Amino acid sequence: MYRYDEFDHTFVRERVAEFRSQVERRLSGDLTEDQFKPLRLMNGVYLQLHAYMLRVAIPYGTLSPRQLHALADIADKYDKGYGHLTTRQNIQFNWPALVDIPDLLDDLANVEMHAIQTSGNCIRNVTTDQYAGAAADEIEDPRPWCEIIRQWSTLHPEFSFLPRKFKIAVNASESDRAAFKFHYIGLRLQKNDAGKTGFEVIVGGGLGRTPYVGMTIREFLPPEHLLSYLEAVLRVYNERGRRDNLYKARIKILVNAMGLEAFREAVEEEWLRLKDRAIDLPEEERARIAAYFSPPSLLSKSLPSKALSEIEPAKEEAGARFQQWRKANTVAHKAPGHRIVNISLKPVGGAPGDVTSEQMRLIAGLGEDFSHGEVRTTHEQNFCLPHVHESNLYAVYTALDVAGLATPNIGLASDIIACPGLDYCNLANTRSIPIAQRIAKRVAARGDEEKIGELKIKISGCINACGHHHVGHIGILGVDKKGEEFYQITLGGSAAEDAAIGEIVGRGLSSAEVVDAVERLIDFYTHNKTGDERFLDAYRRLGADAFKEAIYANA
Amino acid sequence: MLTLKLERAEAKPIEALAPAIALEEWSPDNAPAAHAIEAPNDLDLQSLDPRIFEAPAIVLSFPTFKDGRAFSQARRLREDFSYRGELVARGDILPDQALFLARVGFTIVEVKDPKENTPALFTKALNAFSAPYQAASDAVSPAARRRRGALAA
Amino acid sequence: MKIITGNRLSDGRVVYFSAAGQWSVDMGSAQRLHDGETETVLAAAQSLVHEIADAYLMDADPVNPSDNAPKDDMVSQIKPAGRTHIRETIRAAGPTVRPDLGRQAKNP
């Protein structure tokens, strides 16, 4: 993974020093809250319901064990012993005091981390496939490009006061694990007919109040021109994006108002001017960055572990649970003999994405011992160990199981994305986490989660859609009705390669009704599915009305 | 009101500028090189009579400090139109934006409330970072060029 | 009835503007405001910018002592009301999913 050089170290330290002085000016009253707010946001500091919240960047979801240890220490030293993984592969702490945050940021800088641009109307943390560098179906590792974008976008002088936030994702596989079609710019690495690698560029996707699937603005961009092309898109957006209405300020609204063709023409015209202006990196710098991501030599570090055949007969039940976990939570690696291990942060009844400092240390240790020093975070609020040898799987499983991190539910009904909701968030209308907890408990009580198969449930506590409800197979949106919590169900969304926005079905349900409704949907699906058909495919075959009837039956 | 000249490492107070004329008052006949011109931040620069770029100063506006359109206009003026006169930032501006302003080509900033937003704060912001990651309209070497230099050394 | 609440600047903690003109973590000590006086008191509260990040009015109701709340529990003498009652109850107590955290943790 990328390592800071002298330049990066200096830059991040200088950023902390700058923020320290801004905090001092705020505390002394020289800065008003209105002036301070955008400055603190661009350093990841929010003011939430109970306290400040700090969102730490995990660029493209890649972490070293040392970094994860440092995050655990920060959780203990400045917070209340836990953190929360976000849908941008970042981690946030819910309780730091403003006066401590500069010191916290210095601790982060010690391990080559920062909180730069994790909020604010600027270019946010670039995200990618959590299986990057390990996926069997990938064209090439997308992370060098993510790092190139990270550096270019950091304190960009032209694009730090945009109409609204700006999110970029890079995907390099046929499968889409980065939800790149729902990003303001989605980049897909692909090979053209001549066998050359380049980017398909997608613009105007996004969730929030008005969800859109992104549209292709360029079929093939030579990768060496990535940054100049991004500048062209950002410039058109910065100059023409709406600033009069917060809800109409995102690029998706501009693209739709101009029309894709007119937007494309404007970008291409801009790019012709920009492409030869030394915005793009010279090849040697691209090669320097790419070299940090060369694949680990996988056979060198696989430690001996108890083979499956050696598990004692008395532990047969443990063996069966291990097999269930292996099937649900691990996936094929591009190198034979290896698996990618997903670590579920969705224990039944837990808060989705929450992780304690002790769990962080355990995961860091497993990353060090069994995954060639790499840990990943996923946009579905889980961790992932990208390079685990088959012979170490049981040891990894056992260690995770003891720590409550081996719930076999990746991609299943209880692997729910949920925003923090009204339990923490200043913008939320309703709680999200308790709904996720009750759905997970209900599903667990049925005992047929594995049989239900892939089912993505996503919950947002307000229309800002941080819980990605628009792209849930079952989406749940919290709405406030005269001071009471209600929940609106959407069906048929997908954030994967078969991208779709869910359809709203029927009236809002009370907090008591919504879990029953989800169960009725599951029942309807299990009774009507054919063969191995997924929930989403059954929905697409049978249509919204059939499922809608199921929700409101006897309700 | 205080007028500051943004230099590489220092924001220096200078005399207030002569009043600028609004864009609509400008015509090719009224001596282009004689007046500073004030342009709104939603102006399409491509549509302008190129003689406007003979003006000694162009004033760009920040209705609020969160409205960053003039950052793009400034880069356009410097890079697309090779404008070499003074670029003046007027409006609601925070000292913390000084480096951003300088990097896209602004040379002068007007400070509305110099008691709170002192020249020292602007100078501090100009010096907050030893070097930037990306190329912009200033002459400062971005990271990649520095790294290449370090490799060569 | 309305009271004034905000978050403390230094650490973000939830505070209420008390009758003594100070910020307190006890909702029970909040100054009880009625129509006609809310805006002037809010302006006074907001002038204490060094102490708070944000201040606003919220709806609240006095709690009838017969509602069997313990006498020494300041929080119980006022409770959030109106459209934002869930939000303000959570702000006052702590996350509903973490009863071990926030002010609620002290009143198990």
Number of C-alpha atoms within 13 angstroms, CB side, residue B129? 27
What pLDDT is stored for residue A464 in this prediction? 94
Q: What residues contact A35, with CB distance under 8 A and at least 6 apart?
A: B65, B94
Q: How many CB atoms are closer than 10 A to CB A32?
A: 11
Closest in B67, B100, B129 to A14, CB measured = B129
B65 touches chain A (CB under 8 A): yes
Q: How many CB atoms are closer than 10 A to CB A521?
A: 23
Chains within contact range of chain B (3+ C-beta pairs < 8 Å): A
Q: How close A281 comes to chain B (CA, Å)?
A: 7
Q: Are A88 and A59 in contact (CB under 8 A)?
A: no
Q: How close C46 comes to chain A (CA, Å)?
A: 11
Asked if A47 and C96 come within 8 Å (Cβ–Cβ), the reply is no
Which residues lie across from C54 on neighbouring strands? C7
Q: Which two tokens stand for residue A388?
A: 């685990």
Q: What is the DSSP secondary structure assignment for residue B132, as one 8-state letter?
A: -
Q: Are C55 and C42 in contact (CB under 8 A)?
A: yes
Q: Are A227 and A283 in contact (CB under 8 A)?
A: no
Q: What is the DSSP secondary structure assignment for residue C31, as one 8-state letter?
A: P
B136 touches chain A (CB under 8 A): yes
Q: How close A378 comes to chain B (CA, Å)?
A: 27
Asked if A158 and B129 come within 8 Å (Cβ–Cβ), the reply is no
User: Does B98 have pLDDT greater than 70?
Assistant: yes
Q: Are A346 and A433 in contact (CB under 8 A)?
A: no
Give the Cα separation of A384 and A377 in Å (integer).
6
Q: Where are the alpha helices (DSSP H) in chain C?
A: 38-46, 85-93
User: Pairing between strand B37-39 and B57-62?
Assistant: parallel
Q: Which two tokens stand for residue A421?
A: 């909701």
Number of C-alpha atoms within 13 angstroms, CB side, residue A374? 30
User: Pairing between strand B108-111 and A338-343?
Assistant: unpaired
DSSP percent split of chain B into helix, strand, coil, nearest 5:
35, 20, 45
Q: Would you say how long chain B is, in residues?
A: 153
Question: Which residue, among A528, A495, A507, has the nearest Cα to A178 in the 3D structure?
Answer: A495
Going through A239-363 in order, the beta strands assigned E by DSSP cover: 330-332, 338-343, 354-356
Interfacial residues of C (vs A; Cβ cutoff 8 Å)? 7, 9-14, 49-50, 53-54, 82-87, 90-91, 94-98, 101-102
Q: How close A468 comes to chain B (CA, Å)?
A: 27
Q: Which residues of A touch B153 (CB under 8 A)?
A: none
pLDDT in tens, B37-56: 999 999 999 888 988 999 99
Q: Which residues of chain A have pLDDT under 50?
A: 300-302, 555
What pLDDT is stored for residue C9 in this prediction? 95
Q: How close A392 comes to chain C (CA, Å)?
A: 35
Q: How many CB atoms are closer than 10 A to CB B50?
A: 9
Sign of the Cα torsion A77, A83, A88, A89 reads: positive
Closest in B71, B104, B128 to A18, CB measured = B128
pLDDT in tens, A202-224: 999 999 999 999 999 999 999 99
In A, minimum Cα distance to B135 occurs at A279
Asked if C94 and A485 come within 8 Å (Cβ–Cβ), the reply is no
Q: Would you say how long chain A is, in residues?
A: 555
Q: Are B63 and B39 in contact (CB under 8 A)?
A: no
Q: What is the pLDDT along chain C (108 residues), one digit of tens a residue?
A: 999 999 999 999 999 999 888 899 999 999 999 988 999 999 888 887 678 888 999 999 998 766 555 555 544 589 999 999 999 999 999 999 999 999 999 754
User: Pairing between strand B86-91 and B108-111?
Assistant: parallel
Chains within contact range of chain C (3+ C-beta pairs < 8 Å): A
Give the Cα separation of B110 and A292 in Å (integer).
45
What pLDDT is stored for residue A401 in this prediction? 96
In A, minimum Cα distance to C95 occurs at A423
Which residues lie across from A55 on neighbouring strands? A92
Give the Cα separation of A360 and A75 in Å (integer).
10
Give the Cα separation of A198 and A202 in Å (integer).
13
Closest in B66, B129, B132 to A121, CB measured = B66
Q: Which two tokens stand for residue A216?
A: 């292709």
Asked if A38 and B143 come within 8 Å (Cβ–Cβ), the reply is no
Asked if C12 and A423 come within 8 Å (Cβ–Cβ), the reply is no
Q: Which two tokens stand for residue A167?
A: 């999110």
Which residues lie across from B14 on neighbouring strands? B3
Size of interface A-B (CB pairs under 8 A): 103
What pLDDT is stored for residue C45 in this prediction? 87
Q: How would you list the strands of the sheet with B86-91, edge to edge?
A: B11-14, B2-6, B108-111, B86-91, B57-62, B37-39, B21-22
Chains within contact range of chain A (3+ C-beta pairs < 8 Å): B, C
A158 touches chain B (CB under 8 A): yes
B129 touches chain A (CB under 8 A): yes
pTM given for the model:
0.95
Euclidean distance between the first and final Cα of chain C, in Å? 28
Helices (H) and strands (E) in chain C, counts: 2, 5
Q: How close A237 comes to chain B (CA, Å)?
A: 9
Q: Are A525 and A518 in contact (CB under 8 A)?
A: no
- Provide the chain A residues 207-246 that lie in CB contact (below 8 A) with chain B: 227, 235, 238-239, 243
To test the contact with chain A by mutation, choose from C8, C9, C25, C91 the residue with the greatest count of A C-beta atoms within 10 A, namely C9
Q: Which residues of C touch A485 (CB under 8 A)?
A: 86
Q: What residues contact A474, with CB distance under 8 A and at least 6 apart?
A: A455, A456, A457, A458, A489, A490, A491, A518, A521, A535
Which residues lie across from A215 on neighbouring strands? A203
What pLDDT is stored for residue A326 in this prediction? 96
Q: Which residues of A touch B66 (CB under 8 A)?
A: 38, 121, 161
For A455, counting Cβ atoms within 10 Å of its Cβ (0-12 exposed, 13-18 middle, 19+ buried), the class is: buried
Q: Which two tokens stand for residue A4?
A: 């800071």
Question: Which residue, among A394, A384, A259, has the nearest Cα to A325 in the 3D structure?
Answer: A394
Quote the mean pLDDT of chain B.
Answer: 92
Task: With cut-offs at 50, 70 and 90, classify the pLDDT of residue B18.
Answer: confident
Chains C and B share 3 or more Cβ pairs within 8 Å: no
Give the Cα separation of A151 and A11 in Å (integer).
11
What pLDDT is stored for residue B23 in this prediction? 87
Q: Are A455 and A415 in contact (CB under 8 A)?
A: no
Q: What is the DSSP secondary structure assignment for residue A536, as one 8-state letter?
A: H
To test the contact with chain B by mutation, choose from A2, A4, A5, A7 the residue with the greatest count of B C-beta atoms within 10 A, namely A7
Question: Which residue, among B115, B36, C30, B65, has the nearest Cα to A39 in the 3D structure?
Answer: B65
Q: Which two tokens stand for residue A367?
A: 């990353």
Residue A466 CA to chain centroid, in angstroms? 10
What pLDDT is stored for residue C54 in this prediction? 83
A265 touches chain B (CB under 8 A): no
What pLDDT is stored for residue A301 in this prediction? 47
Give the Cα separation of A62 and A42 in Å (integer).
21
Asked if B116 and A30 come within 8 Å (Cβ–Cβ), the reply is yes
Give the Cα separation of A296 and A292 in Å (integer).
10
What pLDDT is stored for residue C53 in this prediction? 86
Q: Are A537 and A495 in contact (CB under 8 A)?
A: no
Question: Which residue, among A487, A552, A494, A498, has the nearest Cα to A524 in the 3D structure?
Answer: A552
Asked if C12 and A422 come within 8 Å (Cβ–Cβ), the reply is no
For residue A52, the surrounding DSSP H or E stretch is: strand A52-56
Q: How would you list the strands of the sheet with A375-377, edge to edge?
A: A62-63, A375-377, A383-389, A338-343, A330-332
Give the Cα separation of C69 and C79 in Å (integer).
11
Give the Cα separation of A465 and B7 in Å (integer).
44
Collapse the DSSP code of C19 into the 3-class scheme (helix H, G, I; strand E, B; otherwise coil) and give the result: coil
For residue A27, the surrounding DSSP H or E stretch is: helix A6-27
To test the contact with chain B by mutation, choose from A2, A122, A239 the residue with the greatest count of B C-beta atoms within 10 A, namely A239
Q: Which residues of B touch A22 (CB under 8 A)?
A: 96
Q: Which residues of B touch A10 (CB under 8 A)?
A: 130-131
What pLDDT is stored for residue C35 in this prediction? 87
What pLDDT is stored for residue A302 in this prediction? 47
Euclidean distance between the first and final Cα of chain A, in Å? 52
Rounded to 10 deg, the angle between the A6-27 and B143-152 helix axes is 140
Give the Cα separation of A14 and A24 in Å (integer).
15
User: Does B116 have pLDDT greater than 70?
Assistant: yes
Q: Are A422 and C91 in contact (CB under 8 A)?
A: no
Residue carrying structure tokens 């990196």: A281
Q: Which residues of A touch B128 (CB under 8 A)?
A: 14, 17-18
Q: Which residues of B touch A258 (CB under 8 A)?
A: none
Q: Which residues of C touch A351 (CB under 8 A)?
A: 97-98
Q: What residues contact A162, with CB distance under 8 A and at least 6 apart?
A: A121, A122, A123, A234, A237, A238, A241, B68
User: DSSP characters for A136-160?
Assistant: TTBSS-SHHHHHHHHHHHTT-SSSS
